[in-house]
Chain A
Amino acid sequence: MSIILDKVNYSYSEGTAYHVQALKDINLKIEDGEFIGIIGHTGSGKSTLIQHMNGLIKATSGGIYFNGQDIYDEDFSMKELRSRVGLVFQYPEHQLFETTIFDDVCFGPKNLGLDKKTVELRAFEALRNVGFPHELFYQPPFDLSGGQKRRVAIAGVLAMKPEVLILDEPTAGLDPAGRDEILGLISQMHKELGITIILVSHSMEDVAKYVDRIIVMNQGSVMYDGAPKDVFRQYKDLEAVGLAAPQVTYLMHELHAQGLPVDLDATTIEEAKRSILEVLK
């Protein structure tokens, strides 16, 4: 399983004064089982980019290949692509509409044309996978707390059994407890279900803690693509485009500058602690 983006360009309102080139020559390859973080400030093109990956937006030029198949081929099934590349939008709780939580989770698999039994099995499994309490399955979704609603929304996408799950700022607006729960859930889905995860986030700390690969977007182009420590080593360049490295990175660089030979590649609290203790002992 892989997604390949080949020289993808996207622009809207072409030929008018409002013409915007949202994506410029994007070349990316996403492999099976990766945990990727996409960072970039508002308007950098990250939302546009992820919507290309499941065919919700069509590139102005360039090609996208899913498992070697051109998704813009006439006989390629977009519906199938969307079930295999799941996309959880920002504030996904806003898309809930059914009278019960269970029915809402059934919506995705039902659209795939599966029989009733399979649909219900999948919904059941998805809700269990997001750790949703069974006694609430048949309650209306509108009375739940923000974090719970978001779980239901994620289950709604999970029930389609995607191989890739893309999440657009899944922690926006949640409190710290809710945020940790959702991030823990995502990490668990990656480990236990083997789903490829693409996480769009504003928080460098979260990205540093969870992902194996970071893609930095800036003005519609890929600015960096690599392991967190390689990307955060460029913290000065990141700052120049309105981003920042995790706070730990700054600490380590300043300690280093003051003559303490700490590991400059540490990006999480755990790594920083280890390195500082090592140097001071």
Chain B
Amino acid sequence: MIRDITIGQYYPADSPLHKLDPRVKLFATVIYVIALFCFKGIVGLALITGFLYAVIKISKVPFKFMTKGLKAIVVLVIITSVFNLFATPGDIVFWKWGSLQITDTGIINAVLMTIRLVYLILGTSLMTLTTTPNQLTNGLETALAPLNKFNVPVHSIAMMMSIALRFIPILIEETDKIMKAQMARGADFENGNMIQKAKAMVPLLVPLFVSAFRRAEDLAMAMEARCYNGGEGRTKMKPLKYESRDHKAYAIVIGFLVLVIIAANVVPFPQ
């Protein structure tokens, strides 16, 4: 189940999308989400579908790999669309039972909601699929740098994200190890009711916290020993620099949003 979630996973490939500056991809994702929620009518939908299709093709990420990520949200999509389907009042009522009803607006809303959710997941996961976690942190740090003026510790946040990424696999491995060690002492993590299960977590969580704190202390010392002193006066091995393809990408993304807005105002039908 956890393995099926493709959001946050990176798919290594050599595509123009992988090479784009992470800031462009962050910007494009925001624009895409805006477009997804303000489009109207069939033309708008066609524009977005076309855009999504093109970007997926360019990314060289197999479509199958992406749909695997959808499995995790199937339940969410079904609940939302069922809710929309039965609870939206409309002009033409096809079926009615108590407060439940199926109407024309309900059907349209359910379909639109499903499309929006699926497109949302596909589009945003494409961002993480084509950007390494490091590029992403780097991109966020650079893109959000202006917030420094408002006393937002952008560098520290980015550093924390990057360290978290580094230690998540280590802590997962450690959890597995401690769990096995306690099982060797007869601990039972699987059976019992909620309270017993919660209690059984203590022998796992205490050592895990102790170890995490020890690691944090070690790491802080190792960083200090290597002259880490916060973001000030720091240079970068891989500073972000815009290339011509990044400028082109910005232009395409803005053009896309403009088209979607025009379509929503000029041909806002059906609905």
Chain A residues with CB under 8 Å of chain B are 51, 54, 56, 79, 82-83, 86-89, 92, 94-97, 107-108, 111-112, 142, 156-157, 160
Given contacts A56-B180, A111-B186, 8 further A-B contacts (CB under 8 A): A89-B177, A89-B181, A89-B184, A97-B207, A107-B182, A107-B185, A107-B203, A108-B185
User: Once the chains bind, are A79 and B181 in contact (CB under 8 Å)?
Assistant: no
Most A-side CB within 10 Å, residue of B174, B177, B181, B207: B181
Contacts of A157 in B (CB 8 A): 184-185
B261 within 8 A of A: no
- Size category of the B interface is 10 to 19
Within the complex, which residue of A82, A89, A142 is in contact with B186, where a contact is CB–CB below 8 Å?
A: A82
4 closest A-B pairs by CB: A111-B186, A97-B206, A108-B185, A95-B181
Are the C-beta atoms of A95 and B183 separated by less than 8 Å? Answer: no
Please provide the chain B residues from 177 to 195 with a CB less than 8 Å away from any CB of chain A in the complex: 177-178, 180-188
Q: Write out the residue numbers on chain B whose beta carbons fall within 8 Å of the beta carbon of A54.
A: 184
- Pairwise interchain contact A87-B184, C-beta atoms closer than 8 A: yes
Given A95-B178, A97-B203, A107-B203: A156 and B188 interface contact (C-beta under 8 Å): no
Q: Bound state CA distance, A82 and B187, in angstroms?
A: 10
Chain B residue numbers with a CB within 8 Å of A156 are 185
**B211, CB-defined interface residue at 8 Å:** yes
With both beta carbons as reference points, the residue of chain A lying nearest to B184 in the complex is identified as: A87
- The reply to whether the CB of B210 lies closer than 8 angstroms to some CB of chain A is yes
B177 → A minimal CB distance (Å): 7
Q: Could you pull out 7 A-B pairs where Cβ atoms are within 8 angstroms?
A: A82-B183, A82-B184, A86-B184, A88-B184, A89-B177, A89-B181, A107-B186
B202 within 8 A of partner (CB): yes
Of the candidates A51, A79, A92, A111, the one having the most CB atoms from chain B within 10 angstroms of its own CB is A111
Give the complex CA separation of A186 and B203 in angstroms. 26
| B186 x A83 contact (CB < 8 A) | yes
Given A89-B177, A89-B181, A94 and B207 contact (CB-CB distance below 8 Å): yes
B185 touches A160 (CB 8 A): yes
- Check B184 against A56 for contact (C-beta < 8 Å): yes
Residues of the A chain whose Cβ atoms lie less than 8 Å from the Cβ of B182: 95, 107
For A56, the chain B residues whose CB sits under 8 A away are 180, 183-184
The reply to whether A111 and B181 form a contact with Cβ atoms under 8 Å apart is no
Q: Could you say which of B180, B206, B210 contacts A89, with CB atoms under 8 Å apart?
A: B180
Most buried by B among A88, A92, A94, A108: A94
Q: Which residues of A contact B207 (CB under 8 A)?
A: 94-97
